[in-house]
Amino acid sequence: MPSRKWWIAGLLFAATMLNYLDRQVLALVSPVLRKELSLTATGYSHILTAFLLGYTFGQLIVGRVIDRFGARRSFAFAMLWWSAAGIAAATSHSAIQLGAFLLFMGLGEAAAWPASVKTIQEWFAVSERGIAVGFFNSGSSMGAVLAPVLVTLLAIHYSWRAAFIVFGAFGFLWIVPWLLTYPGRPHLKTSRLTSPQEEPPPIVALLRDRRALGVILGRFFCDPIWYFYIFWLPDYLSRVRHFSIREIGLTAWIPFVAAGVGNLVGGWLSGYLLRHGRKAVTSRLVVMTGSALAMAAGVGIWFCNSPTSAIALISFVVFSYSCWASNILTLPSDIFSSGAVATVVGFSGTAAGIGGVLVTLITGWIIDHYSYLAVFLVLALLPILALASSFLTLEKSRNVALTSAPNLKPF
């Protein structure tokens, strides 16, 4: 079913794009919102943390739910949930109300990546998964590219509330083609789909598997880099480079174009290595190694002499991060059976969110007391720690319940 699987991948792309359009509203209107609500950088970080708490700890649950009930129904319900929460956020009149609605929006958005990776494992061959994951994950970059333009236009001509309402409405519309395109219970011989009723292995066994720990720690250390640029780039451009909100809208999309390209390049590179004799996990780790070293160069952003050179280096860093992300997101589908893959992605997403919460809170405190230089120093260390952790995925588990799906040879 070559056409159907790519239609499904396209819908996953659209879902991740909407996911980032929703969450970028707050970041892009932060200069106006902070003034309106009299928020310090620390206070703003608390609102961001509300979203991250829902997104982070929701993944402890949703991965298991998706493995048990399948991606089709789970993703449709999640989209309904987070779109409704986003529309509700438009009714907020205080920081507490906004934080509460963003908490619920985060709970819904927690399902996006576990459901997407599980769908890719079920529909795509191992040699295609890197590029397929990179393709749907580039939807987040597209959302980040479009958000500065769309959100600032809506904020300037209407208000930030209009952005939440418009993007939430698109989420409701997405559900219709998803349910029509994705078959309910496909058991055709021509389908790659594994039954969603496959029994998930015990959670304790998953957490004792060193390969799962490698994915979890890798995302814990590295994903906060992405969270930083998603949530703090507008503030950096405003405070350090003295951009107006209009100038932010005209330039903040550029790094995320690079991120979208990085998703595709990273997935293609590991697929190329796999097709030329490398094992699946080894192929992913080769690309991740180069990406981690490149991300460490981000410390130089502070020393850039002009906004143009700073944006160019930021673009290089997020390009490298996306090369990394498309591969670490693919690793669970290479290593674990269909009954475990969404659970592993969910747990790693929780770890990533915890890392994002910590870095968000630390960033706000550092900015209030010091400067962005210390932030960039921390961000340069994180990919090195992530790379060291990711090599745990080379450890073979003795637990047969967690071995790869049939016919795959990841090692």
**Which residue has better confidence, 408 or 154?**
154
At residue 405, the pLDDT reads 43
Q: Residue 95: what are its φ and ψ, rounded to 5°?
A: -65, -35
State how far the Cα of 99 lies from the Cα of 120, in Å rounded to an integer.
33
At residue 80, the pLDDT reads 94
Residue 60: pLDDT band by 50, 70, 90 thresholds? Answer: confident
At residue 316, the pLDDT reads 95
Residue 189: pLDDT band by 50, 70, 90 thresholds? Answer: very low
Question: Contact at 8 Å (CB) between 284 and 327?
Answer: yes
Task: Tell me which residue has tokens 């529309």.
Answer: 87
At residue 208, the pLDDT reads 83
| Chain centroid offset of residue 182 CA | 22
At residue 198, the pLDDT reads 58
Over 90: is that where the pLDDT of 188 sits? Answer: no
Q: What percent of the chain is predicted at pLDDT more than 90?
A: 28
Residue 276: pLDDT band by 50, 70, 90 thresholds? Answer: confident
Question: Contact at 8 Å (CB) between 327 and 267?
Answer: yes
Three-state secondary structure readout of the chain = CHHHHHHHHHHHHHHHHHHHHHHHHHHHCHHHHHHHCCCCHHHHHHHHHHHHHHHHHHHHHHHHHHHHHCHHHHHHHHHHHHHHHHHHHCCCCCHHHHHHHHHHHHHHHCCHHHHHHHHHHHHCCHHHHHHHHHHHHHHHHHHHHHHHHHHHHHHHHCCHHHHHHHHHHHHHHHHHHHHHHCCCCCCCCCCCCCCCCCCCCCHHHHHHCHHHHHHHHHHHHHHHHHHHHHHHHHHHHHHCCCCCHHHHHHHCCHHHHHHHHHHHHHHHHHHHHHHCCCCHHHHHHHHHHHHHHHHHHHHHHHHCCCHHHHHHHHHHHHHHHHHHHHHHCCHHHHHCCHHHHHHHHHHHHHHHHHHHHHHHHHHHHHHHHCCHHHHHHHHHHHHHHHHHHHHHHHCCCCCHHHCCCCCCCCC
Residue 2: pLDDT band by 50, 70, 90 thresholds? Answer: low
Mean pLDDT for the stretch of residues 54-66:
85
Over 50: is that where the pLDDT of 108 sits? Answer: yes
List, for residues 116-146, the tens digit of each pLDDT value. 888 888 888 888 888 888 888 888 878 877 8
Mean pLDDT for the stretch of residues 5-20:
91
Residue 83: pLDDT band by 50, 70, 90 thresholds? Answer: very high
Q: Residue 365: what are its φ and ψ, rounded to 5°?
A: -65, -45
Question: Contact at 8 Å (CB) between 63 and 114?
Answer: yes
List, for residues 199-250, the tens digit of each pLDDT value. 667 777 777 888 999 999 999 999 999 989 877 888 888 888 888 777 877 7
**Which residue has better confidence, 34 or 352?**
352
- The count of C-alpha atoms lying within 13 angstroms of the C-alpha of 104, restricted to the half-sphere facing its C-beta, is 15
Q: Residue 227: what are its φ and ψ, rounded to 5°?
A: -55, -40
Q: Which residues of 126-151 are buried (b: 16+ CB within 10 A; e: fewer)?
A: bebbbbbbbbbbbbbbbbbbbbbebb
Residue 192: pLDDT band by 50, 70, 90 thresholds? Answer: very low
Q: Looking at 76-90, 186-200, 232-246, which range is the least confident one? A: 186-200
State how far the Cα of 247 lies from the Cα of 245, in Å rounded to an integer.
5
At residue 289, the pLDDT reads 95
pTM comes to: 0.74
What mean pLDDT, rounded, does the chain reach?
83
State how far the Cα of 233 lies from the Cα of 48, in Å rounded to an integer.
14
**Which residue has better confidence, 253 or 201?**
253
At residue 184, the pLDDT reads 62
Q: Domains of the chain by range and CATH?
A: 2-183+198-395 (1.20.1250.20)
Mean pLDDT for the stretch of residues 77-101:
88
State how far the Cα of 75 lies from the Cα of 152, in Å rounded to an integer.
29
CA-angle at 188, arms to 182 and 192, nearest 5°: 65
At residue 286, the pLDDT reads 93
Residue 35 is which amino acid? K
